[in-house]
Chains A and B, each alone.
Chain A
Amino acid sequence: MRILGGGIFKGMAVTLRNFVGSYINKKERLPTNDYSWRADGALPQSIGDYPKEKGEQLSDTTTVTEYSRNFPMLLHDGGEPMDTVRCVACQICERECPPQCIYIEKDYDENGKYIKRPAVFDIDVSVCMSCQICVEVCPFDAIVMNSQFELSTPDRFGGLLVRRDDLLKSNDYYHKIHPEEAAARDQKMAVEKAAKEAKKKAAAEKAKAAAEKKAAEAAKEEAK
């Protein structure tokens, strides 16, 4: 039988474990202070440890835990980013985004024909609330969460708007920062692709059969 209000106590136990653990197990519990990339690998001891020197950055996102999800990125399948970008500029994420921080423009070739990729894809860092709804709604698995955390900038107008080319990241990078999720997504995409191909094949066969039938009928007609 569930105790009334038991969920609150369960949650409080979790936070208590975090609280006590952060004093006992510093290496594991204070991951943002993991200075393993540094030569001495030591935890900060006194004032002025981060950043160690002026201009130094912790931009290597692989040092962060793989459950970190901070800001969206656009996936491409390797090679020249804009050739293999998965995004087709369908604008579902733009419309679904609760704080409306995504801005997309479709790309057209010189004849005015829609080519399936975004010409502009901007996300406003200052508005994004890291809710991942864009990731959930994307039918093409084109937008996923990055764990990049050093997003601060001295430029408060242009700098907080992340442009398309900065959002583009390869699938390999995705595998590096979120291995489990990336593998699951790849498998899901493969299954979907197989299903689609099977459907296509079935449709093609059906069409072929229909065409053959029609041809046969036509031949029959001719024979008459």
Chain B
Amino acid sequence: MSLELLIDILIATVPLMLIFATLFAFTTWLERKALARIQNRIGPNKVGIPCTRIGLFGLGQPAADGIKMIFKENIVPRGADRLFHLLAPILALIPSMLVLCFLPLDFPWLNENSVKAFLLDGAVIFFFAITGLNTLAVFMAGWASRNKYSLLGGMRAVAQMVSYEIPLVLSAVIVVMMVGSLNAGEIAGAQKGGNWFVFSPWGFAAFVIFFIAALAETNRSPFDLPEAESEIIAGYFTEYSGFKFALFFLAEYIAMFAISGLAVTLFLGGGDGPGLAVLPWLSVIWFLAKIFALIAVMIWLRGTLPRLRVDQLMGFAWKFMLPLSILNIFVAGFAWHAEQLDNKFIMVITWLISLAVLYGAASGLNQLNRGKVRPREYKYAE
């Protein structure tokens, strides 16, 4: 292997890892602060500069957490599968780190000869393929811990991730259809100049489906059943402590960044934004800012919505999201043909019709799936 190639690969990958690991630390702090404020608390505000009483709004909290995690005892339960117990957090982290390469982040230090994985012909397919490995890590962790709560969490996670991967991929298909390419760079390039996919009825519907499915894929609230604290302790990482636990935590947040990054690439125009003509490197800033906007919405939703029940979760995936995303593919197909005619009037008509069809289908499905509300029944009291 030539040295230049090695340097090229390192230039392409190391900054990604550093940037997203730093963002992870900041996001944990941000999430705790935001959730605290939503619940009318103050949140972490004690850890600042060591040996002084300067709080700095608790910005030192991630560092303190990290130090604590590293020095905590590594406990493996008796009867656990020691090898798999060790492998699971690593297997959870690797795919989430790996898929970051497929985000079209055009760093200023990359030139034409640099390795850019997002320009692969199958970048989007690779993204979905590699994110799918997370499921295995979760199951591995749940099974290797030899704990019924861990196993329950693992089973829930597998069922949930398999169900929500279908609407996730089907909503991404719309963008792939419209652009005619699986190349992440091309998809972002096709949305240059504010021509984002989210600004069309089918694109908006696909974005909403994608975002909801992404919440479920990353086990975020309100779909955090695999780690439901009040039901199964901490789900699949109940038996993890110390640095292995930190790795799971890191993997979860990096996966959040990755899937938000894909949402930005597919629907929110990638690095598109004002001021790009003057400063081309601004595209990275725009990209990261959009990712952060999506993360902020995720945190906001976590502070707002209660957790779903297992049957509601499955029903929502299979009875609501799946039919809607399939219908959306047909709508997008017709819209694509209408776009080929290059006629303003036809486009307006198409917009109105697709809006009506999608909204009608969504509310119709909602009506069909609406469960009967009954008062709570007690077994023993009168």
Chain A interface residues (CB < 8 Å from chain B): 4, 8, 11-12, 14-16, 18-19, 21-23, 29-33, 44, 46-48, 92, 95-96, 129, 133, 136-139
Contact = CB atoms under 8 A, between A and B. Distances in A.
Contact of A96 (B46, B304, B366, B378): B378
Interface residues of B, number: 26
A214 to B, nearest CB: 35
B3 interface: no
B53 A32 contact: no
B22 interface: no
A18 B39 contact: yes
A100 to B, nearest CB: 13
19 contacts: A4-B359, A8-B301, A11-B305, A12-B301, A18-B37, A19-B303, A22-B40, A23-B37, A33-B42, A46-B53, A46-B55, A47-B46, A47-B53, A96-B379, A133-B378, A136-B381, A138-B381, A139-B381, A139-B382
A96 B37 contact: no
Interface in B259-303: 300-301, 303
B41 interface: yes
Contacts of A133: 378
B313 interface: no
Nearest to A44: B42
B34 interface: yes
Contact of B304 (A8, A92, A129): A8
A191 to B, nearest CB: 17
Given A47-B55, A137-B380, 18 more contacts: A11-B304, A12-B300, A12-B301, A14-B304, A15-B38, A18-B37, A18-B40, A22-B37, A23-B37, A29-B40, A30-B40, A30-B42, A31-B40, A46-B55, A92-B381, A136-B376, A136-B378, A139-B382
Contacts of B42: 30, 33, 44
B74 interface: no
A137 B272 CA distance: 58
B363 interface: yes
B40 A96 contact: no
A8 B379 CA distance: 32
B230 interface: yes
Contacts of A46: 53, 55
Interface string B23-59: 0000000000010011111100010000001010000
Contacts of B379: 95-96
Contacts of B303: 15, 19
Contacts of A8: 301, 304-305
A65 to B, nearest CB: 10
A30 B41 contact: yes
A32 B41 contact: yes
Contacts of A22: 37, 40-41
Contacts of A21: 40
B40 A137 contact: no
B362 interface: yes
Contacts of B34: 19
B304 A12 contact: yes
Interface of B: 34, 37-42, 46, 53, 55, 230, 300-301, 303-305, 359, 362-363, 366, 376, 378-382
Nearest to A65: B40
B253 to A, nearest CB: 21
Contacts of B41: 22, 30, 32
Contacts of A47: 46, 53, 55
A4 B37 contact: no
Nearest to B366: A4
Nearest to A26: B42
B378 A137 contact: yes
A82 B55 CA distance: 50
Nearest to B365: A4
A156 B378 CA distance: 32
B52 to A, nearest CB: 9
Contacts of B381: 92, 96, 136-139
Interface centre among B40, B301, B305, B363, by most A CB within 10 Å? Answer: B40
A71 to B, nearest CB: 16
Nearest to B48: A47
Contacts of B359: 4
A129 B301 CA distance: 23
Given A8-B304, A46-B55, A92 B362 contact: no
Contacts of A137: 378, 380-381
A82 B57 CA distance: 50
B362 A19 contact: no
Contacts of B382: 139
A92 B379 CA distance: 9
Contact of B363 (A4, A12, A32, A138): A4
Given A4-B363, A46-B53, A129-B230, A19 B380 contact: no
Nearest to A21: B40
A15 B35 CA distance: 9
A114 to B, nearest CB: 18
A74 B165 CA distance: 49
A177 to B, nearest CB: 19
A34 to B, nearest CB: 11
Name the 9 nearest CB pairs between A and B, nearest first. Answer: A137-B381, A95-B380, A11-B304, A22-B37, A15-B304, A15-B38, A19-B37, A92-B381, A15-B303
